[in-house]
Structure 1
Amino acid sequence: MKVATAASIAILSLGLASAGIAQADEANYPEIVTPSTQSRAEVVQALRLAQSQGLVTVGEHGNYPQLQADDQALTRAQVLKELDQAKSAGLVSIGESSQYPQAL
């Protein structure tokens, strides 16, 4: 019984090893090389420009780059007024109703 168990373990080990070697040969995809059209100095300059504009974040920030707004931010009162106007025009739906807001 011990001989049969040892033989079956040996056969399984050989089978698994050969399967691993076969998969290793299939995983060798060709390396795609894309030559750069910019020099290192140009890339560094573009990076510094993007950093100065706030388009680059460092680390695992969940914040995406913010677009630079040309106009001033609205006050709370202005936002509430716009919301009331949208509600009265039927552009706001609340909940899971089957009615969609009407386009202007």
Structure 2
Amino acid sequence: MKVTTAASIAILSLGLASVGIAQADEANYPEIVTPSTQTRAEVVQALRVAQSQGLVTVSEQADYPQLQSEGPALTRAQVLNELKEAKSAGLLTIGESGQYPQML
């Protein structure tokens, strides 16, 4: 029992020592400083413009910027018509068959 405990302590201390050595090696990277070409006021102004356009969100979730629509949205009837055309042309695969739609 004492041999098992001593071996466990030895393995644990060896593991912790290797973690410490690995972290010490990471601290040797040189710090790269890139001088900014913009003033603080310019950066703040760019941030405000991006926020007003909906390109920046404040949250813990990494949301992608919202794309601006290029035109009016399609009606439900138009979407259903496009779906029917895609099915008849063989461009739509429904199910888990693993087949990709055919590209023209």
Report deviation, 1:21. 6.3
- SS of the residue 2:46 aligns to: helix
Q: Does 1:26 align with 2:25?
A: yes
Secondary structure class of the residue paired with 1:66: coil
1:25 deviation in Å? 3.8
CA distance in 1, matches of 2:19, 2:63: 42
For residue 62 of structure 1, report the CA deviation from its aligned partner: 5.4
Contiguous gaps of at least 5 residues in structure 1: 1-7
- Give me the whole-angstrom Cα distance separating, in 1, the residues matched to 2:20 and 2:82: 66
Q: Does 1:36 align with 2:40?
A: no
What is the aligned partner in structure 2 of residue 4 from structure 1?
Answer: none
- CA-CA distance at 1:58 after TM superposition: 0.3
Runs of 5+ in structure 2 lacking a partner?
A: 1-5
Larger radius of gyration: 1
TM, length-normalised to structure 1: 0.70
Closer, same or farther: CA 64–18 of 1 in aligned 2, 3 Å: closer
RMSD of the TM alignment (CA)?
3.1
Q: Quick one: which amino acid aligns to residue 90 of structure 2?
A: G
Sort the Cα spacing of 1:27 and 1:62 in 2 relative to 1 into closer, same or farther, 3 A: closer
Q: How many residues were matched structurally?
A: 96
Letter of the structure 1 residue corresponding to residue 42 of structure 2: E
Matched, 1:60 2:67: no
Change in 2 beyond 3 A, CA 1:26/1:78: same
Instruction: Report 1:23-102 matches (<5 A).
Output: 23=22, 25-28=24-27, 29-61=29-61, 63-97=63-97, 99-102=99-102
